[in-house]
């Protein structure tokens, strides 16, 4: 199946999840990430600002703040360029992609980030992912040396052939349901 068809299928499935299911998944994701030694040893955690049909990263952001971690979130530019900027909930703007992102341009060097919580739509057995198609994360992760983790729903497991520029996520933790 083509990546675009997989994207459409997964987005449609995500949009069928109830608010309660997204909340359970989000709470589970927060606990799963916070239990990792990489998280516990980290000073700076990067995560994304979720769209309504995705797991809600505000749970992780709040917990990381309580744990004294520095939180950074992505900001995108033209030509697939992305940086991570310190999170400030009072200084966000809606991007052209319909995602909240920082107004600030105060980017951190990738070496200052310990763990990146990577979003996506589908993951294969090798940890490669299909995102929304902009290539932002693959470009960024190609030069990132730290820990990467994703917490997809179990139905986001998908076998597909990765392309040469695709970057694998080091740890993929699936949210399993009994449905």
Which residues on adjacent β-strands are paired with residue 58?
Answer: none
The Cα 111–Cα 126 span in angstroms is 24
CB 17 within 8 A of CB 11: no
The Cα 169–Cα 166 span in angstroms is 10
CB 89 within 8 A of CB 76: no
The Cα 141–Cα 22 span in angstroms is 26
Residues at the binding site are 3-7, 49, 54, 129-137
Q: What is the CATH number of the domain that holds 93?
A: 3.40.50.10420
Residues at the binding site for substrate are 49, 54
The Cα 160–Cα 3 span in angstroms is 8
Does residue 67 belong to any structural domain of this protein? yes
Structural domain for 12, as ranges: 3-172
Residues at the binding site for ATP are 3-7, 129-137
Does residue 179 belong to any structural domain of this protein? no
Does residue 178 belong to any structural domain of this protein? no
List the pLDDT tens digit at each of the 179 positions of the chain: 799 999 999 999 999 999 999 999 999 999 999 999 999 999 999 999 999 999 999 999 999 999 999 999 999 998 889 999 999 999 999 987 788 999 999 999 999 999 999 999 999 999 999 999 889 999 999 999 999 999 999 999 999 999 888 999 999 999 998 75
Nearest to 17 by CA among 126, 141, 154: 154
If one counts the domains in the chain, the total is 1
Does residue 66 belong to any structural domain of this protein? yes
Token couple for 69: 């971690």
The pLDDT score that the predictor gives to residue 179 is 57
Does residue 55 belong to any structural domain of this protein? yes
The Cα 110–Cα 140 span in angstroms is 8
Cα angle vertex 169, ends 101, 42, to 5°?
Answer: 70
The pLDDT score that the predictor gives to residue 97 is 78
| Tokens 């992760």 belong to residue | 141
Does residue 177 belong to any structural domain of this protein? no
């Amino acid at each position: 199946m083509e990546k675009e068809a997989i994207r459409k299928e997964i987005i449609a499935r995500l949009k069928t999840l109830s608010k309660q299911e997204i909340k359970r998944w989000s709470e589970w994701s927060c606990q799963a990430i916070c239990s990792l030694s990489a998280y516990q040893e980290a000073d700076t955690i990067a995560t994304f600002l979720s769209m309504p049909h995705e797991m809600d990263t505000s749970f992780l952001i709040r917990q990381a703040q309580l744990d004294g971690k520095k939180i950074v979130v992505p900001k995108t530019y033209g030509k697939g360029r992305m940086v991570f900027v310190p999170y400030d909930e009072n200084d966000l703007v809606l991007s052209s992609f319909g995602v909240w992102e920082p107004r600030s341009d105060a980017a951190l060097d990738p070496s200052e980030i310990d763990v990146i919580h990577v979003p996506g739509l589908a993951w294969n057995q090798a940890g490669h992912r299909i995102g929304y198609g902009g290539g932002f994360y693959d470009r960024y992760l190609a030069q990132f040396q730290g820990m990467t983790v994703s917490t997809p729903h179990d139905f986001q497991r998908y076998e597909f052939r990765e392309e040469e520029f695709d970057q694998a996520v080091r740890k993929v933790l699936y949210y399993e349901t009994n449905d």
